[in-house]
Amino acid sequence: MQRRKFLAAIGTGAAAAAASTVAKPAIAQSMPELKWRLTMSWPKSLDTLYGSCETFSKYVSEATDGKFQIQLFAGGEIVPALQALDAVQNGTVEMAHSAQYYYIGKDPTWALFCATPFGLNTRMQNAWFYEGDGQTLIDEFGAKFNTKCLLMGNTGAQMGGWFKKEINTVDDLKGLKMRIGGWAGKTLGKLGVVAQQIAGGDIYPALEKGTIDATEWVGPYDDEKLGFYKIVKFYYYPGWWEGGTTNHLLINLPKWNELPKAYKAVVTAAAGFANVEETARYDARNPQALKRLVANGVQLRPFSTAIMEACLKASNEVNAETSAVNPSYKKVWDSIAAFRRDEYLWWQVAEYGYDSFMIRTAARS
C-alpha cells in the first residue's frame, strides 16, 4: 500500500514538473525581452511631440514589466528628421514617430493619411481611422513601404504661419519663399509660393538668414518654443492645409509581424493613449501661449475670404490632377471626401451650433 502511494506521488510530481517545463517556455515566448529604437522627426525641445514618444515608451515598458524597452532618439540623432520613414522601411530602426506628409516624394498618397488642404479635422480623422476606412487603407498602402502605421498624436487645427509682411491679397503670395510641410506646398505653388520642406529644428536659422520669407509649424505653444516671434510678427490663421494633423507611429512591418500578440496589443493601446494625450496637451497649452505671443507684439491676422477661396480652388485642382494619375491617391482621397461630406452634415447640426453660440457668448462676457 505504501509502495502504491509512493509511486503515485512520483507520478504526480513528474506530471507537475512536465507541466512546469512546458509552461515556462510558453510564458517566455509571449513576454520576450526586447530593446527597440524609435527615431522621430522632432527636436527634444518640443515636449508635445517628443513627449508623445516618452508617454508611449513609458507605458509599453510598464505594461510588460520592463521586458519591452524602447529607446528614443530625437530627429538627427540617428537619422535626419525627415528620413524617419526610410529608417523604418530599411530596418535601421524598428520604430519612428513622424508626420506622413513628409514623404510625398515617395508617393503623395502619404499626405492624405496626415493632413491635406481642406481635409478632415482632428476628430474626423480619428473617426475615419478608427471607424471608417482609414486604418485599412493605411495598412494596405503602408505595406508597400514595409511599414505598419498606428495613430499616435494629433496637433488639432494649426495656425497659418509667420510672415515677414502682411498677406492681404492672393497676389501677395507670389514669389514668397515659405517653409511648409507636406502636400500644401503643391497647392500654394499654384498661387506662386515657393514651398520648402525644412525640419522643425532648422526653421529658425532659415528664417533668421532670410533663406525663407515665411514659415508654418504647428501652433502657439510649439511656435513660441521655436522662437519665430523674435524674427517676424505677422501670425496668420487658420492653417487651412492642416485642419487636423495626424502623427503616426511607424513600425518596421517584419518586426511588427514577429511581435507576440500581447505585445501588439500593448503597443496599440499605448499609441492610442498617446494619440489622445497629444491633442489634449495642445488644446490646454495653446491658449496661454497665444496670449504670451500677443503680449510680445505678435500681430494676429486672419486669411481673407478671397485667399481662402483661391486656395480651395487650387487644392481641388491638385486633388483632381493627382487622382487622375495615381490610383492609390484617388482611392484614399475619395474615401476622405465622402467621409468629410457626411461628417459635416452632423457637425453643422451639433458641434458647430454649440461652439459658435459659446464663442459669441464668451465674446460678450
Give CA–CA dist 68/90, Å, rounded: 22
Residue 182, SS3 per DSSP: coil
Residue 42, SS3 per DSSP: coil
The helix/strand count (H/E) of the chain reads as: 14, 11
* CATH dotted code for 32-156+244-283: 3.40.190.170
Residue 87, SS3 per DSSP: helix
Mean pLDDT by 10 residues, the chain (365 residues): 41 44 54 97 96 98 98 97 97 98 97 97 98 98 98 98 97 96 92 94 95 97 97 97 97 98 98 98 98 98 98 98 98 98 94 93 80
pLDDT for 17 equals 43
pLDDT for 182 equals 78
Which amino acid, residue 146?
A: N
Q: At what angle do helices 327-347 and 122-130 cross, to 10 degrees?
A: 120
pLDDT for 165 equals 96
| Strands (E) located in 190-266 | 194-196, 214-215, 234-237, 246-252
Q: At what angle do helices 261-295 and 49-63 cross, to 10 degrees?
A: 150
pLDDT for 25 equals 53
135 by Cβ neighbours in 10 Å (0-12 / 13-18 / 19+) ranks as: middle
For residue 107, count other CB atoms closer than 10 A to its CB.
15
Q: How far is C-alpha 177 from the chain's CA centre?
A: 25
| 136, 258 Cβ separation under 8 angstroms | no
Give CA–CA dist 107/291, Å, rounded: 39
pLDDT for 27 equals 54
Nearest C-alpha neighbor of 216 from the set 271, 260, 169, 176: 176
| 159, 218 Cβ separation under 8 angstroms | yes
Give, as one character, the DSSP assignment of residue 202: G
Cell numbers that stand for 13 in this block: 510530481
Cell numbers that stand for 161 in this block: 504661419
pLDDT for 200 equals 92
